[in-house]
Structures are given as C-alpha cells and as structure tokens.
C-alpha cells in the first residue's frame, strides 16, 4: 500500500544543524517538537533522558495455530481485540479461532470461552458457548468481559464465573434498532469499551454509529446517524462517522473512537458532543504533528492510559501511535508502510496489521498484531542516549523471558504484577 504520509522531520532545511548546541535533557514526548524546531537534523550532541517503549513478542508466534500453554508456546489465529483488567489479566479476542482467551499474570494462557474452530452463537458456560469472528473485547471493574461478537451482530457478556450470555442483539439479524436485549440490532460491531459507571460503548461499524448500552441493558444510539457515513463533528445524531472500529474510555471522561474510514481519531463527551481529536478526514498518511496536522491510515484500535495519553493501532501504516493530552501525535513504534515481525524500540519494531490495543496500570501497551498471529508488548523503558539514535529506532533497554526449574518459560512484563 502506498503511504502518502511524510516521515518525521521531512521537508526541513538541510542547512539547519545543531553543531553548537550543548547537551539537552528532554522527554521523548518533546522529541518530535524539538526535531521540527531544529530543522529535523538532530546530531549526537542532543542528549536525551527519559523513557520510551521497547516492544517484544509477548504471546503467540507468526503462525496460525492454537493451544493452551505458557505465553512462549501459545499461538493465536488473527487476534484483533485486547483488554486488561486491574489484576493484570489480558483478554484476547482470538478472532479466527472464534474464541476468547485469557493470559494470566503468571503467563499461563487459557481458553476463557468458546471452542476453537467451531463458530456459532450459543450461550453457556465457557466451552459450551459459541462465537462467530469476535473482534472487540473489554472488561469492567467487576471482572465481567464484554465481547463484540462481530459476525453474529451481537454483544456478549462473560461473567467472572465464565457464564456467557447475549447482552444485546439477535444472532444473524442485522439492523440499527435501539431497545433492550434482543430487540436491539447491530451491523458488524467491531469495538467495545466500558466506563466506571457501568455503561458499555460499542463501535457499530457498518452502521457508522456509536452505541451505548446502559447498566439496565438498554441500547441507545449515542452518536452518529445509522447508515449515513461522513466526517461531521457535532452532538449526538448530528455527528457523522465512517466505519468506526475501535472505541475506548479515558481518564478525562471522554469516549475515544478510531474512525477508520475517516483516517482520524474522534472524541465524544459524556453528553454526546463529537470532535475530531487528530487526523484529517479523507487524507490518509503517516505524518506526526499536532491534532489536524497528523495523519493516520485506517486506524482500528484505541486505548488510553491513566495519564490521559491515547494509543492508536494505525493499522494500514503498520505502526503504533500516541496522542498526548496536548494533542501531539507521535509514532511510538514501527515504520510507516513496512510490514514485519521484529522486536525493538521505536522504528526498529515491525508489525503486520496491528488492530487491537490495551494499556495496563503500569503503562505497558499490548498490541494485537493480527497478521503476525501474536500479542506484542511495549514496555516503558528508561533511556539515556542521543536524539538521533532514538529517531533512528535504536534499541535502548531490554525485555526478556526466564525459565523456571521445571523448564517452563515465563514472559517478563516489567512492572506488571498480579494483585
């Protein structure tokens, strides 16, 4: 895919250099701005301290297989959705396996619900349940897991005891009707998120709308107009989306939306006001920048950390992006348009159609690297180096796996701990 975006610092004057600049100490969040101000030519005289993200393969491998095991051995089949709970458990929508998986803080991967290779729409306990290409997954504070069961056009709920029920929608029935339970209709819902009040938000993708499921299990159209794609900001039904696929809630009481068809990130207030946070609708690309100056290419996943930073799976660019509270968009990992499966920091890392994202309490970023059939982990890692090395994607820091006396392999997730 041709990428019309521009790389970091391109278009700057080659004559503007930093030969006389004394060593600087700046954060990575300011590195992009520093590059622009100084003409995009950072030499080794620009010393940088702070933290960046080092990505490693946390679970799965670049082969479509399936098993329950430690993270070093298990594989997935086109995983797309991720969520992490307060205890450090990671939930995976293992899409082409028609199953939901759970990765415990100990590193053990189990089948939470569904049966691999057996699609369907049955409710029931764990393996008695059936899903049909589930894509989105979210978890609430009580341990309930919500699933966007995409090809069934339904939203499912898995209790902490493993009981699967259909929360809203009717399997096999397409539509956009609001209402309770199986009265409601969806059209290939892809993303799902929860908030602290017990609400569930759904990216109802083929309807080009965002839906709200209240704690009373009532489905409402929260923003957008069903069947009318567009890129209009506004309140409630006046807003327009274009195949939104990812949805998340953040610490600033906003609902963040990966508006894939508009190549942009949208934000919704609790009273339904929609604005474009970053990106330029109708203009795919890979440019970093502030708000509308940045570009994305079919972003699918979105997640937020406790500080209010937003992370984006910029799918067609094969990158992971970050938006700060100030609206500065940077490329956290990967190189635009370059497909691969490499671990490393910054542009040294490679992905193959990253789709889902999740962030834990230690600010670790999990990525569903869909066509690599794996889950990637980005850990915030302290660095002390030079700006040019960081922009070139040099790996500073490390991640590792350890073997116990029994020969089992466990992944190192840095600061994450089970509680």
411 against 335, higher pLDDT? 335
Token pair of 209 as six digits: 């709308």
Domain borders along the chain are 50-383
State the pLDDT confidence band at 60, using cuts at 50, 70 and 90: confident
Q: What is the pLDDT of residue 42?
A: 45
Mean pLDDT of the region 91-101 = 98
Q: Tell me what the pLDDT averaged over the chain comes to.
A: 83
Q: What is the pLDDT of residue 24?
A: 34
Q: What percent of the chain clears pLDDT 90, i.e. is strictly above it? A: 73
- How far is Cα of residue 178 from the mean position of the Cα atoms in its chain? 27
Q: What is the pLDDT of residue 65?
A: 45
Q: How far is CA 295 from CA 4, 281, 339, in A?
A: 9, 9, 19
Q: Are strands 90-94 and 99-103 parallel, antiparallel or unpaired?
A: antiparallel
- Spell out the alpha helix ranges (H) of 307-386: none
Q: Which residues contact 209 (CB under 8 A, 6 or more apart)?
A: 176, 221, 222, 223, 224, 225, 226, 241, 244
User: Coil, strand or helix: which one is 260?
Assistant: helix
Q: What percent of the chain clears pLDDT 70, i.e. is strictly above it? A: 76
State the pLDDT confidence band at 381, using cuts at 50, 70 and 90: confident
State the pLDDT confidence band at 9, using cuts at 50, 70 and 90: very low
Q: What is the pLDDT of residue 294?
A: 98
The answer to which of 6-10, 59-63, 375-379, 396-400 has the lowest mean pLDDT is 6-10
Mean pLDDT of the region 284-301 = 97
Q: Is residue 310 a contact partner of residue 319, using CB atoms and an 8 Å limit?
A: no
Q: Is residue 194 a contact partner of residue 146, using CB atoms and an 8 Å limit?
A: yes
Distance CA 411, CA 106 (A): 8
In which residue are the tokens 């079919």 written?
298
In which residue are the tokens 């010393």 written?
47
Q: What is the pLDDT of residue 75?
A: 76
Mean pLDDT of the region 240-261 = 97
Q: Is the pLDDT of residue 401 over 70?
A: no
Q: Is residue 300 a contact partner of residue 246, using CB atoms and an 8 Å limit?
A: yes
Q: What is the pLDDT of residue 52?
A: 82
What residues form DSSP beta bridges with 49?
384
The pLDDT tens digits for 337-367 are 999 999 999 999 999 999 999 999 999 999 9
The pLDDT tens digits for 269-284 are 999 999 999 999 989 9
C-alpha dihedral, 60 to 286 to 206 to 83, nearest 10°? 40
The pLDDT tens digits for 183-224 are 999 999 999 999 999 999 999 999 999 999 999 999 999 999
Distance CA 354, CA 364 (A): 16
242 against 384, higher pLDDT? 242
User: Coil, strand or helix: which one is 42?
Assistant: coil
Distance CA 409, CA 419 (A): 21
pTM: predicted TM-score of the whole model, two decimal places:
0.81
Q: What is the pLDDT of residue 63?
A: 40
Token pair of 204 as six digits: 């109802």
386 against 284, higher pLDDT? 284
Q: What CATH number should be reported for the domain whose range is 50-383?
A: 2.120.10.30
Q: Is the pLDDT of residue 141 over 80?
A: yes
State the pLDDT confidence band at 376, using cuts at 50, 70 and 90: very high
Helix, strand, coil percentages, rounded to 5, for the chain: 10, 40, 50
Q: What is the pLDDT of residue 48?
A: 53
């Amino acid at each position: 895919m041709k990428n019309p975006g521009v790389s970091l610092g391109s278009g700057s004057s080659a004559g503007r250099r930093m030969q006389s600049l004394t060593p600087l100490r700046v954060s990575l969040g300011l590195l992009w701005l520093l590059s622009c101000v100084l003409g995009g030519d950072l030499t080794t005289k620009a010393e940088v301290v702070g933290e960046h993200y080092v990505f490693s393969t946390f679970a799965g491998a670049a082969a479509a297989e399936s098993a329950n095991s430690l993270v070093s051995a298990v594989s997935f089949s086109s995983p797309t959705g991720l969520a992490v709970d307060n205890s450090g458990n990671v939930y995976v929508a293992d899409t082409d396996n028609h199953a939901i998986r759970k990765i415990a803080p100990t590193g053990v991967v189990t089948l939470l619900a569904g049966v691999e290779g057996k699609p369907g729409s049955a409710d029931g306990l764990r393996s008695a349940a059936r899903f049909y290409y589930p894509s989105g997954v979210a978890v609430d504070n009580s341990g309930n897991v919500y699933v966007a069961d995409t090809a069934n056009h339904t939203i499912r709920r898995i209790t902490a005891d493993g009981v699967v029920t259909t929360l809203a929608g009717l399997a096999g029935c397409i539509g956009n009707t609001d209402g309770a339970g199986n009265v409601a209709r969806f059209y290939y819902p892809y993303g799902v998120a929860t908030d602290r009040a017990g609400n569930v938000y759904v990216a109802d993708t083929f309807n080009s709308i965002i839906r709200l499921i209240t704690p009373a299990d009532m489905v409402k159209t929260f923003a957008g107009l069903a069947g009318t794609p567009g890129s209009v900001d506004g309140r409630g039904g006046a807003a327009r989306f274009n195949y939104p696929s990812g949805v998340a809630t953040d610490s600033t009481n906003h609902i963040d939306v990966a508006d894939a068809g508009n190549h942009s990130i949208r934000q919704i207030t609790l009273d339904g006001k929609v604005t474009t946070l970053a990106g330029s609708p109708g203009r795919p690309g890979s440019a970093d920048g502030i708000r509308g100056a940045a570009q994305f290419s079919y972003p699918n996943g979105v997640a937020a950390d406790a500080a209010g930073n937003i992370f984006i799976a910029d799918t067609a660019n094969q990158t992971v992006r970050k938006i700060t509270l100030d609206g500065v968009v940077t490329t956290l990992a990967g190189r635009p348009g370059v497909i691969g499966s490499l671990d490393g920091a910054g542009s040294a890392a490679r992905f193959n159609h990253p789709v889902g994202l999740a962030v834990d309490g230690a600010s670790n970023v999990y990525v569903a690297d869909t066509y690599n059939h794996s889950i990637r982990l980005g850990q915030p890692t302290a660095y002390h180096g030079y700006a040019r090395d960081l922009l070139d994607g040099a790996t500073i820091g490390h991640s590792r796996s350890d073997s116990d006396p029994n020969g089992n392999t466990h992944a190192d997730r840095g600061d994450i701990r089970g509680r």
